[in-house]
Amino acid sequence: MSHYFSQVATAVVLVLASAAIAMIGIVFLAGALYLALVANLPPALAALLTGLAVLATALIVIAIARLALHPPRHAQPPAGSAASGEALDPSLLLGEALGSELVNCTRAHPYGSMLAALAAGFAFGASPGLRKTLQQLLQNAARQPRQ
């Protein structure tokens, strides 16, 4: 039991240290933004814009936290989905099944999913060739006629 409490205490200390480091980073970023703006704007306006940027960032973080803590309720399945009982195209059924499996896997392994999404984002952001290939694949898939 004491091992559990030491792990919890270590986690709390690490989270608090990370928060303190993030706050220092935010202060430096706000300072850099102010210095960049004050070169072209009056100091009072530069300070106002910097404060608004920090406030907007805080509001975005609050909105993300609210969504994470209180996820939206799921609506009734739309007409034409597999849950509605209508006959559907097999590709739609396959897509719905794959989507359901992806959601289940993401819920079962949230950290791994986050790292995979982060790696994919970096890969697509860093590689113009990869972006172009994905764009061509999506365009070709959209052009194929449906039967």
DSSP letter string, 8-32? HHHHHHHHHHHHHHHHHHHHHHHHH
Question: What confidence tens digit (pLDDT) does each residue in 79-115 have?
Answer: 555 555 555 677 777 778 888 888 888 888 888 888 8
Q: Is residue 59, in this structure, part of any structural domain at all?
A: yes
57 lies in the same domain as 98 = no
Q: Which of 63, 101, 68, 95 is nearest to 82 (CA)?
A: 95
Report how far residue 101's alpha carbon sits from residue 99's, in angstroms, rounded to the nearest whole number.
5
The DSSP output letter for 40 is T
7 lies in the same domain as 65 = yes
Residue ranges making up the domain that contains 30: 2-69
Q: Is residue 77, in this structure, part of any structural domain at all?
A: no
pTM value is: 0.43
Q: Is residue 81, in this structure, part of any structural domain at all?
A: no
Q: Is residue 78, in this structure, part of any structural domain at all?
A: no
Q: Is residue 26, in this structure, part of any structural domain at all?
A: yes
Question: What confidence tens digit (pLDDT) does each residue in 129-139 have?
Answer: 877 887 887 77
Q: Is residue 75, in this structure, part of any structural domain at all?
A: no
30 lies in the same domain as 59 = yes
* Counted domains in the chain: 2
Q: Is residue 52, in this structure, part of any structural domain at all?
A: yes
